[in-house]
Amino acid sequence: MPRGASPRRESEARKLERKFKKEKRYAGREEEVAARIVNKQRRASGETKAAHKPPRRSASRRKSRTSRSRTRRKSSARS
């Protein structure tokens, strides 16, 4: 686990490792995969310095995208 991970997250990673070994998944990479999963959860919940934020779309792009799809539906319905 990386520096700064809480004891809760560390125990969660160990639990995942044991689960993967028991299920014989990710042979030899159990620790790596468990750490990746826990790190992803930490990023999503904002526990890291650089928290993951989904990309934002500009208002103009959202508007143009919805208007195009509506015009397509109207034109295809008339045919």
Any idea what DSSP says for residue 22? H
Dist. CA 79–CA 77, nearest whole Å: 6
pLDDT band at 52 (very low <50, low <70, confident <90, very high): low
CB proximity list for 6: less than 8 A, separation 6 or greater: 47
pLDDT of residue 46: 87
pLDDT band at 61 (very low <50, low <70, confident <90, very high): low
Q: What is the pTM of this model?
A: 0.60
In one-letter notation, the amino acid at residue 75 is: S
Domain ranges within the chain, ordered by starting residue: 7-78
